[in-house]
């Protein structure tokens, strides 16, 4: 039986190129994080502490307007 979550993930996978997925993962989810007083430039965008389990949705969300 296919759960809605799996179906959604598959839809995104089928329509999203995996390089975009990894671009999102690498730049928003990896990379050196600095401690202290940091103003993250992502106000209003809840992608900062993104986990890969949420990545499929995130890649889909920021895909709007992609050329």
Partner 1 sequence: MSGVYLYALLGANPATSPGVGVSDEPLRTVDLGGLFALVGDVPAALAPSPATLTAQDAVLRRLATGVDAILPARFGTLVADDATLVESLTARRTELTRALAQVSGCEQMTLRVWGEQAAPPADAGVTDAGPGARYLAARRRARQVPEVDTLRRRLGALVKAERVERHDRPPLLATVQHLVPRGESAQYLAEVEAAGAQLAPWRVTVTGPWLPYAFGGAA
Contact pattern for partner 1 over residues 27 through 46, marking x by CB under 8 A: xxxxxxxxxxxxxxxx--x-
Q: Which two tokens stand for residue 50?
A: 């993104």
Residue 12 in the binding site for partner 1 (CB under 8 A): no
Query: Can you tell me the distance from the alpha carbon of 32 to that of 30, in angstroms, rounded to the nearest whole number?
Result: 7
Neighbours of 5 (CB within 10 A): 11
Nearer to partner 1 among residue 5 and residue 15 (C-beta): 5
Query: Can you tell me the distance from the alpha carbon of 56 to that of 48, in angstroms, rounded to the nearest whole number?
Result: 15
Catalog residues that contact partner 1 under the rule CB under 8 A: 5-6, 9-10, 13, 18-42, 45, 47-48, 52-53, 56, 62-63, 65-67
């Amino acid at each position: 039986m296919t759960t809605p979550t799996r179906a959604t993930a598959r839809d995104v996978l089928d329509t999203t190129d995996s390089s975009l997925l990894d671009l999102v993962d690498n730049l928003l989810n990896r990379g050196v994080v600095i401690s202290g007083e940091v103003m993250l430039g992502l106000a209003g965008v809840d992608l900062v502490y993104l986990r890969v389990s949420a990545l499929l949705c995130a890649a889909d969300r920021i895909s709007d307007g992609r050329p």
